[in-house]
Chains A and B, each alone.
Chain A
Amino acid sequence: MASDHISSDMIESSEFPFLAVKYNVHGVPHTVINEEHSIVGAQSEMEFAKAILKAIGK
């Protein structure tokens, strides 16, 4: 909602085990940004914002 460029999926990993395997998920929450960048564990909103900017090279 904060940006028109950002979309976000919440995925129940036990129902979609192929995604848990694809993204090498061993613990949850496990956040994947643009298929390439992973964040494991709960983080602050600011840390997520910074991770998003890092993922797009900002």
Chain B
Amino acid sequence: MGILKEKDRDKLISVFKDIEKDVKIVMFTQEMECPHCEMTRTMLEEISGLSDKLSLEVHDFVAEADLAKKYGVDKIPATVLLGDKDYGIRFYGVPAGYEFNVLIEDIVDVGKRDPELSKEVMAELAKVDRPVHMQVLISPT
């Protein structure tokens, strides 16, 4: 039994048609999977199967600690979205509820290589000249 419902799957297939370039989803879990890790992995497996532009790599947080460090992943379940480069997009925890929509939007934005921000906001962000790390804490709805 899948996590995504039939109608969700159909909707996602249609939303993913906007993806122009490949998106790689990198997920960190561990051998003895926590329930949230298993749910995240299953969900990402189902999502990544809905477009040929999407690929999924699953890694072991413990056995591949160096790789986790490379991606700056310090907790699991962790989901990393990659395009032509690493844009610094990470999801920690099951991307369910409201976060699910954000994940889908981010996948499409990365697939379009377009953050979909206004010119004015882009101009402000162009002034950023040193590392900024944002952490958005949310909860399921």
Please give the residue numbers on chain A whose beta carbons come within 8 Å of chain B beta carbons, in ascending order: 1-3, 5-16, 19-20, 23, 25, 28-35, 45-46, 49-50, 52-53, 55-56, 58
Interface string of B98-141 (1 = CB under 8 A from A): 01001100000110011101101110111111111111111110
Collect the chain A residues with CB atoms within 8 Å of residue B121's CB.
2, 45-46, 49
**Bound Cα distance from A17 to B83, whole angstroms:** 30
**Bound Cα distance from A18 to B109, whole angstroms:** 31
Specify the main secondary structure of chain B where it touches its partner. Answer: mixed
**Bound Cα distance from A12 to B34, whole angstroms:** 15
Interchain nearest-CB distance for A44 vs B (Å): 9
Interchain nearest-CB distance for B43 vs A (Å): 13
A55 touches B138 (CB 8 A): no
Specify the main secondary structure of chain A where it touches its partner. Answer: mixed
B140 touches A14 (CB 8 A): yes
B137 touches A6 (CB 8 A): no
Interchain nearest-CB distance for A16 vs B (Å): 6
Q: A1-B87, A2-B117 are in contact. Are A7 and B92 (CB under 8 A)?
A: no
Collect the chain B residues with CB atoms within 8 Å of residue A20's CB.
137
Collect the chain B residues with CB atoms within 8 Å of residue A50's CB.
124
Q: A13-B139, A15-B36, A15-B93 are in contact. List 11 more A-B contacts (CB 8 A).
A: A2-B122, A6-B132, A8-B88, A9-B90, A12-B99, A12-B138, A14-B93, A35-B133, A45-B117, A52-B128, A56-B128
B87 touches A32 (CB 8 A): no
**Bound Cα distance from A45 to B129, whole angstroms:** 19
B25 within 8 A of A: no
Collect the chain A residues with CB atoms within 8 Å of residue B88's CB.
6-8
